[in-house]
Amino acid sequence: MRQLLTDVDGVIEHELMLPVYVVALSLSTGMCITTCSCVFKWTNVWRDPGHGTMFMLFLMLGLWSFSLLLITFAVFLNYRSDSLEHPLTLNFSIASEATFVATSLWLLVAMYEVRRRVMNPRPSFPAAKNHMRWYCLVIHGFTLALVIVLVVFSQTHLTYTAPDGAQDSLVSWLVSYITWGTWALRLVSLLYAAIVAVALQCSKKRVIDQPRGLLAIVNVFFLLNMPYLVIAPMAEIRARTNAPTGLIDSPWALSIMKALAFCSGIILSLIMGISVGSFDAFYAAKIPATVANGRSKPLTHVQTSQDIIFILGETSSARSTPVENR
């Protein structure tokens, strides 16, 4: 997660926090990639958009963690200065912004697919497969376009007259301004995920038990990321206005919040690993096929919304579905 900047000079990271960032990001990267390899089935990724969007969420979260890990190494090499004027930091930051955007977008569509599967399942597998293709085309196409634009600007070596009179690289300023937009997108995706989780919990007509597995993932991701997303802009406003803002004045507050956000991949992977049986059962549910007279006829067995929520949230009396060999 990039530091919000109004210039490209960056900040000096706390020496004691850099090893913490390395450990957190290394574990997040490894555990997210392991989750993609062990939990998800490649054939289901393209067949079922619910399965596929969750796979892409963990994949992009792992790649985002890896890009931040590279930025952390670059900061080490640059005497702890997290500055976009450093070429290595700038190049890794472009990758970080792209994967950050992709992670936020996949979180949005993943939560949409969970809500749709519970409330209004798609009538056929072909329709579901088409949705997954469109998701990939739009999300990855957008992020690829972002990378291409930033790389082109970096290769043109255009300069920008900064407020302090210095001639800075134009692409450095573009990345610093884009950061505000990518953070706003992450904020929207987290709020949407939280709203969907609350809506499923409060929908008494369709829900007989809380979807604990889903709520755990959403709540943890929300709690780990939201503090830094909110406090960092406040800290930037404080820096502009020189107004005291309590906790934000602590030199360690933002660093600790950033470290918690870096642990997202670790915690989410652990939750997914614990609930892998219910995850497999949930996405193995048959989708009813639409017949000519407009009525839905099940392929084998149509699971009710109560069944689906029961799978999502394992109660104390439920037994996990055995995991298939992959």
CATH number at residue 152: 1.20.1070.10
Question: How many separate domains does the chain show?
Answer: 1
**84, 175 Cβ separation under 8 angstroms:** yes
- Specify the higher pLDDT residue, 31 or 284: 31
Q: What single-letter amino acid sits at 109?
A: V
pLDDT tens profile 121-175: 665 556 667 888 899 999 999 999 999 999 998 888 877 776 666 667 888 888 8
Q: Compute φ and ψ for 82, nearest 5 degrees.
A: -90, 75
Angle between helices 125-156 and 49-77 (to 10 degrees): 20
Rounded Cα distance between 139 and 149, Å, is 16
Q: Which residues contact 293 (CB under 8 A, 6 or more apart)?
A: none
42: containing domain:
11-312
Residue whose C-alpha is closest to residue 8's, from 81, 100, 66, 97: 81
- Residue 57: inside a domain: yes
- Residue 323: inside a domain: no
- Residue 131: inside a domain: yes
Q: Compute φ and ψ for 238, nearest 5 degrees.
A: -60, -40
Beta bridge partner(s), residue 297: 289
Rounded Cα distance between 27 and 33, Å, is 10
Rounded Cα distance between 109 and 107, Å, is 6
- Residue 239: inside a domain: yes
Report, as an integer, the average pLDDT of 11-33: 90
Q: Which residues contact 60 (CB under 8 A, 6 or more apart)?
A: 99, 102, 103, 106
Rounded Cα distance between 33 and 223, Å, is 22
Beta bridge partner(s), residue 160: 168
pLDDT of residue 288: 42
Q: What is the pTM of this model?
A: 0.81
- Residue 149: inside a domain: yes
- Specify the higher pLDDT residue, 283 or 175: 175
- Residue 320: inside a domain: no
pLDDT tens profile 50-90: 889 999 999 999 999 999 999 999 988 887 878 888 889 88
Q: Do β-strands 296-297 and 81-82 pair in parallel, antiparallel, or remain unpaired?
A: unpaired
